[in-house]
Amino acid sequence: MPKPLIEVRDAKKVYQMGEEKVWALKGVSLSIEQGEFVAIMGSSGSGKSTMMNLLGCLDVASEGNISLDGVDVSQLNKSELAAIRNRRIGFVFQQFNLLPRTSALDNVCLPLLYSDVPENEWPQRAEKCLQQVGLGTRMDHHPSQLSGGQQQRVAIARALVNQPLMILADEPTGALDTQTGMDVMALFGELHAEGKTIILVTHEPEIAEFAHRTLTFRDGELVADERNASPRIAQRSSV
Amino acid sequence: MKLLILFRTAITALRVNILRSFLTMLGIIIGVSAVIIMVAMGAGAQQQVDNQIKSLGGNVFFVMGSFRSSGGARTAQVVRINEDDAGLIERQVPGVEAAAPYLSSNGQVIYGNLNWSTGINGIDNRSFQVRDWEIADGREFTQQEIQSGAKVAIIGERVHKELFGISNPIGQTMRVKNFNVTVVGVLAEKGQDARGEDQDDVIFLPIKTVRNKITGVDSTNPKSVRFIQVSAYDGEDMDYIEEQMRELLRQRMRVPANADDPFRIRNVSEMIATRAETMQVFNTLLAWVASVSLVVGGIGIMNIMLVSVTERTREIGLRMAVGATPIDILRQFLIESIVLCGAGGGIGVLIAYLFVFLGNNYGIGAGGVIDTQVVFLSLGFSALIGVFFGYYPALKASQLEPIDALRYE
C-alpha cells in the first residue's frame, strides 16, 4: 500500500495568549491521498485555519507529527520549511495576495525566484500556467487592471508554477461574487481532474460540496470525515 | 539567488514611492556631495599653495634691511643691505644655491604709441636662477652688460603682450621712464604669486642701470639693494641656513650681542605653508561636519526602511509563503537600502562634480580639485551606511512569522 501524501498523527497546537494557553488543535489525526479533492470545513475558531497553516508548513505543530510525501516536517527549521513550501505547496488566498504594480506574468514568476529553476525557463513556465487558467492574453496586465476573478486566477497560476504536490486554497471564493466564485471552483475541478491534490479551506457548505471529501473541524478537533458520493461540478462561464 | 532580479525588485519597490525615496536619499546626497566638495576645496587650496611655492622657485628667503636699534631703542636709521652681502651669503653659507640682489621700482614703459605701468627691477642673472625662471625668448644679460649698467631689458610676458602684442620684441627699443632700453629677452610665463599679483607684469634691467638711472646712488652705501633673494638647494635644512645667514650678517654689520637684528629674513615657503595648514585644518573640520550629515542621512534611511517593512508586511508574508527563506527576505531589504544609499551617493557625486566644475570655470561657488579616491571612498561609505542602517529593518522583516505576516492588515 502506498504511503498517503499527507499523514497527520495526533497534531496539537497551543498558543500562548497572555497567561492563558489556548489549544487551537487538540490532537488531530488524518491522512490525505495523492489526487484527492478535500474540503476543510468549520466555523471560525474551529481550528481549520490552524490545520491549514500546519499542512501548508507555514507553522509547526506543538506536538505530534505531520509528514508530507514521506518527509516529517515537524522537525524542520524555517529555511527548510520555506523550501518545502516553495517546491511542494501552492497557496491560494482569499485576498489573492498579488504584488501590486507587477504584471501577471511577474506575479506568477514569484515562486520561481526562490526555486532552482533556471531563469531562462521562467517566462515559458509562467505563460503555460497563465494559459491553463485562461489568462493567456492578459499576461502584461497589472492586478489593478484585472477583475477579482481574474486576479484569483493569476494567484492560482502562481500556485501551479512550481508544479507542487498539492494546492492549498484558503477561502478562495471568499472575496468573489457567486458567478466568479463558480468560475474559480470550475478551475479547481479541472485541476483535480488532471490529478492535482487540492485542499480547500472554507466555512461555506455550498463551496465544500464541490470537494470529494469533507473534513469538519469544531473546537480544535476533527469531528467528521465524510466522502461526498456526488460532488457538485461547476461550469465555467464563457469568459 | 539572482542578484540582478533582486536589484530590479529593489528599484521597482523604490520607484513606487519615488518622492519618498528621493527625500530619503536627500540626506545621503547632501552628505556625500558635501564631503567631496569640502575635500576638493581643501585639495584645491593645497594645490594653489604648492603652485605658489613652486613659482617662487622652491626654497626661497627674502633678506632685507631694517631699523638699527641701539640699547633696546630702535632708531630711524634704516640699514641697507648691499650687493656684497648677497655675494657673501652665496659664498659662505653652506646649502645656499644663489643669492640675488634686487633693486625695485616701478614706472611707465613706452613702446611706439602704447604705454604700460609696470614693476621695474634691477637684478643680475642670479635672480633667474633663484626663482627658477626661464628665458622664453632671447637671452640673459651678459656679464659686461651687468657691470657697465647697459640699457638693456628682459621683459615679462604680460609686458610683452601689452606693449608688443604678438610681434617679436627682441632687439626693439622701448622707453623706460626717461631713457631708452633695448629688449634682449622675454621671460616664460609664471602666473600669480602668493598674494595674487601677476608676476609676469615686470621688466628687468641690470641692477646698475636701475641704480644710476632710477633709484639714485646712496652715497654712504653705494651698492645698496632693496632686498636679496636667497635660494637653498632642495632638501637643505632651511632653519639652519636661516641661522647661518643671521650669524653672518650680524658679524658683518658688527651688531652687539644684545641688540636686535638690523635686517629681516623671511622664509616665504614656510609663511605660505603655515597659512595653508590653517586652511587645511578648517577644511578637515568641515569635511567631518559633512560626514556627520552622512550619518544623519543614514538614520533617515533606517527610519524609512522600518516604515517600508511595516507597510509591506503582507508582501513579506506572501514571499515567505511561496518559498522565500529569512535570508532571502533579509537580502531583499538590505539590497533595497543599499540601492537607496548608492543612488543617493551617485547623485551626490554628480552634484559635487557640478559644483566644483562651476567653481573652477565660472567662479560660481568655490572651486577645487576632486580626488577620485575620495569619490570612491564616499560612494563606498554611503553603500556601507546602506548596509549598516538597512540591516536592522531587514532583519526585522526576515524574522516575521509567515502566518502573522500574511494575516497583517
DSSP string, B207-221: HHHHIIIII---TTS
Looking at residue B192, what DSSP letter applies?
A: B
Segment B277-288 shows an average pLDDT of: 81
Report the distance separating Cα B90 and Cα B169, nearest Å: 33
Contacts of B279 (CB under 8 A, 6+ apart): B42, B45
Locate B396 and state its grid cell: 526585522
Strands B179-187 and B96-111: unpaired
Report the distance separating Cα B199 and Cα B369, nearest Å: 24
pLDDT bin (cut points 50, 70, 90) of residue B57 is low
In our burial notation (b when 16+ CB lie closer than 10 A, e otherwise), range A193-230 reads eeebbbbbbbbeeebbbbbbbbbbbeebebeeeeebee
Report the distance separating Cα B305 and Cα B333, nearest Å: 8
Backbone angles phi, psi at B307, to 5 degrees: -60, -45
Mutation target to probe the A interface, by most A beta carbons within 10 A, among B312, B322, B327 is: B322
| Nearest CA-CA partner of A89 in B194, B406, B309, B320 | B320
Segment B15-30 shows an average pLDDT of: 90
Asked if the model's pLDDT at residue B297 lies above 80, the reply is yes
Report the distance separating Cα B153 and Cα B327, nearest Å: 81
pLDDT bin (cut points 50, 70, 90) of residue B58 is low
* B101 or B274, which is more confident: B101
Any domain includes A70:
no
Any domain includes A65:
no
pLDDT bin (cut points 50, 70, 90) of residue B320 is very high
| pLDDT of B263 | 87
Q: Which of A97, A114, A162 sits opposite B324 (nearest CB)?
A: A114
Any domain includes A114:
yes
CA–CA min distance B321, chain A (Å): 6
Q: Which of A100, A111, A119 sits opposite B323 (nearest CB)?
A: A111
Burial environment of residue B154 by CB neighbours within 10 A (0 to 12, 13 to 18, 19 or more): buried
Segment B288-306 shows an average pLDDT of: 88
Q: Which domain covers residue A169, as residue numbers?
A: 35-55+87-227
Report the distance separating Cα B355 and Cα B366, nearest Å: 8
Asked if the model's pLDDT at residue B389 lies above 90, the reply is yes
Considering only alpha carbons, which residue of chain B is nearest residue A168?
B321
Q: Which of A58, A87, A101 sits opposite B321 (nearest CB)?
A: A58
Q: Which residues pair with A224 in a beta bridge?
A: A216
Burial environment of residue B85 by CB neighbours within 10 A (0 to 12, 13 to 18, 19 or more): buried
Query: For B145, left (φ over 0), alpha (ψ -120 to 50), or beta?
Result: alpha
Any domain includes A101:
yes
Per-residue pLDDT of chain A (239 residues; tens, 9 = 90+): 467 899 999 999 998 888 899 899 999 999 999 999 999 999 888 999 999 999 999 999 999 999 999 899 988 999 999 999 999 999 999 999 999 888 999 999 999 999 999 989 999 999 999 999 999 999 999 999 999 999 999 999 999 999 999 999 999 998 899 989 999 999 999 999 999 999 999 999 989 999 999 999 999 999 999 998 888 888 777 55
User: Would you call A116 an interface residue with chain B, using a CB distance cutoff of 8 Å?
Assistant: no
- Give alpha helix (H) positions in B227-371: 238-253, 268-311, 313-321, 326-362
User: Would you call B399 an interface residue with chain A, using a CB distance cutoff of 8 Å?
Assistant: no
User: Would you call A78 an interface residue with chain B, using a CB distance cutoff of 8 Å?
Assistant: yes
| pLDDT of A213 | 95
Place of cell 489549544: A23
Query: For B93, left (φ over 0), alpha (ψ -120 to 50), or beta?
Result: beta
User: What is the H or E stretch that residue B393 is in?
Assistant: helix B372-398
Q: Which CATH number belongs to the domain containing residue A199 in this structure?
A: 3.40.50.300
CA–CA min distance B401, chain A (Å): 8
Asked if the model's pLDDT at residue B220 lies above 90, the reply is no
Q: Give the count of Cβ contacts less than 8 A between chain A and B.
A: 66
Considering only alpha carbons, which residue of chain B is nearest residue A54?
B403
Place of cell 532580479: B5
Q: Which of A59, A78, A99 sits opposite B325 (nearest CB)?
A: A78
Report the distance separating Cα B239 and Cα B236, nearest Å: 9
Distances (CA, A) of B130 to B60, B88, B102, B233: 7, 16, 12, 10
| pLDDT of B287 | 80
Q: Do A110 and B319 touch (CB under 8 A)?
A: yes
Any domain includes A125:
yes
Any domain includes A201:
yes
Q: Which residues of A touch B3 (CB under 8 A)?
A: none
Strands B96-111 and B152-155: unpaired
Share of chain B above pLDDT 70, in %: 94
Domain boundaries, chain B: 3-52+275-407, 67-261
Q: Which residues pair with B265 in a beta bridge?
A: B63
CA–CA min distance A229, chain B (Å): 33
Report the distance separating Cα B305 and Cα B1, nearest Å: 22
Place of cell 548596509: B387
- Domain tally for chain A? 1
Asked if the model's pLDDT at residue B79 lies above 80, the reply is no
| pLDDT of A228 | 87
Q: pLDDT (tens digit, 9 = 90+) per residue, B177-193?
A: 889 999 999 999 887 77
Segment B290-313 shows an average pLDDT of: 90
Report the distance separating Cα B222 and Cα B171, nearest Å: 31
* A137 or B57, which is more confident: A137
Q: What is the separation, in whole angstroms, between the first and last Cα of chain B? A: 29
Q: pLDDT (tens digit, 9 = 90+) per residue, B132-168?
A: 888 888 999 999 999 998 999 999 999 999 999 888 9
CA–CA min distance B10, chain A (Å): 13
Question: At B299, is the secondary structure helix, strand, or coil?
Answer: helix
Segment B12-36 shows an average pLDDT of: 89
Contacts of A101 (CB under 8 A, 6+ apart): A142, A144, B12, B16
User: Would you call A13 an interface residue with chain B, using a CB distance cutoff of 8 Å?
Assistant: no
| pLDDT of A211 | 94
Segment B365-384 shows an average pLDDT of: 83
Q: Do A97 and B406 touch (CB under 8 A)?
A: yes
Any domain includes A9:
no
DSSP string, B46-59: HHHHHHHHHHHTSS
Any domain includes A18:
no
Burial environment of residue B373 by CB neighbours within 10 A (0 to 12, 13 to 18, 19 or more): exposed
User: Would you call B3 an interface residue with chain A, using a CB distance cutoff of 8 Å?
Assistant: no
Q: Which of B1, B16, B403 sits opposite A58 (nearest CB)?
A: B403
